[in-house]
């Protein structure tokens, strides 16, 4: 029988973090679980706040050989010694980032529920494509990325695909055979013990 490869975890930070405590919390999650990559995804537009958070998270991540990418802010990647950038606009910014950061940087994008946008991002040079939300959400249009898209993608496209948004144990169990990564963020940070919650979600992969 062929070996079943379990999806990897792509960890997303909360939209707001407390620098006095979050690095320690992040370290506990990284020490407890194998994490492939972290996305710093802060809601603030304050450059100083983002920069200080990037430095703190980078130190924790790189001490454990985990890559750290930043959401949207291309110009902060090299300044803060990060590993790449994540966009939310499909293929639009991929080529610019690739030209500026080179071939070694990680460049990825969120493409919503659109297979077409995902394919365009892959063709533009994305290292991965995020599709979602997978679970039920009242944010945005509420449209969900169905399992069929992931199933098709995993069979037809070489670019890794990431399942993101409103994940539950049941959804993780269902999508594990058809995705390369699960993007986990608020699913664990809103709980009292993020590392323990991550244990439950990983166990759901089977």
CATH of the domain at 76: 3.20.20.70
Structural domain contains residue 26: yes
Helices 47-63 and 22-32, packing angle to 10 deg: 30
CA angle in degrees (0–180, nearest 5) for 188-194-197: 70
Structural domain contains residue 31: yes
Residue 8 binned pLDDT confidence (cut-offs 50, 70, 90): very high
CA separation, residue 72 to residues 1, 97, 113 (Å): 42, 10, 19
Structural domain contains residue 3: no
Residue 2 binned pLDDT confidence (cut-offs 50, 70, 90): very low
Q: Which of 198, 200, 193 is nearest to 183 (CA)?
A: 198
Q: What is the pLDDT of residue 4?
A: 58
**Residue 206 predicted with pLDDT over 90:** no
Structural domain contains residue 182: yes
Percent of the chain with pLDDT over 70: 98
For 111-136, the pLDDT digits (tens) are: 999 999 999 999 999 999 999 999 99
Helix (H/G/I), strand (E/B), else coil: 146: coil
Structural domain contains residue 174: yes
Helix (H/G/I), strand (E/B), else coil: 60: helix
Q: What is the pLDDT of residue 138?
A: 80
CA dihedral 13, 110, 44, 25 (to 10 degrees): 0
Place of tokens 């506990």: 28
Structural domain contains residue 1: no
For 173-190, the pLDDT digits (tens) are: 999 999 999 999 999 999
Work out the end-to-end distance of the chain between its first and last CA atoms, rounded to an integer number of angstroms. 16
Which stretches of the chain are assigned E, i.e. beta strand? 8-12, 37-40, 67-71, 84-87, 106-110, 128-131, 161-164, 181-184
> How many Å apart are CA 91 and CA 123, to the nearest integer?
8
**Which residues make beta-bridge pairs with 40?**
70
The domain in which residue 85 lies consists of 8-203
How many domains does the chain divide into?
1
Residue 34 binned pLDDT confidence (cut-offs 50, 70, 90): very high
Structural domain contains residue 2: no
At 50, list the tokens.
Answer: 């983002």
At 67, list the tokens.
Answer: 């890559």
Structural domain contains residue 15: yes
Residue-wise burial string across 141-151, b where 16 or more C-beta atoms lie within 10 A, e elsewhere: eeebbebebbe
């Amino acid at each position: 029988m062929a070996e079943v490869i379990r999806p990897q975890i792509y960890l997303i930070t909360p939209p707001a973090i407390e620098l006095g405590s979050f690095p320690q919390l992040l370290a506990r999650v990284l020490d407890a679980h194998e994490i492939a990559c972290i996305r710093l995804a802060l809601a603030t537009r304050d450059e100083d706040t983002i920069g200080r958070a990037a430095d703190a998270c980078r130190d924790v991540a790189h001490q454990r050989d985990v890559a750290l990418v930043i959401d949207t802010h291309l110009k902060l990647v090299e300044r803060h010694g990060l590993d790449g950038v994540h966009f939310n606009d499909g293929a639009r910014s991929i080529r610019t980032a690739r030209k500026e950061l080179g071939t070694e940087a990680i460049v990825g994008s969120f493409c919503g529920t659109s297979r077409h946008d995902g394919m365009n991002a892959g063709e533009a040079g994305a290292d991965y494509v995020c599709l979602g939300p997978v679970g039920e959400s009242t944010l945005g249009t509420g449209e969900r990325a169905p399992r069929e898209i992931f199933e098709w993608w995993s069979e037809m496209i070489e670019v890794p695909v990431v399942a993101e948004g409103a994940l539950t144990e049941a959804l993780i169990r269902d999508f594990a055979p058809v995705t390369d990564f699960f993007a986990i963020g608020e699913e664990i940070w809103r709980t009292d013990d993020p590392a323990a919650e991550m244990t439950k979600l990983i166990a759901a992969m089977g």
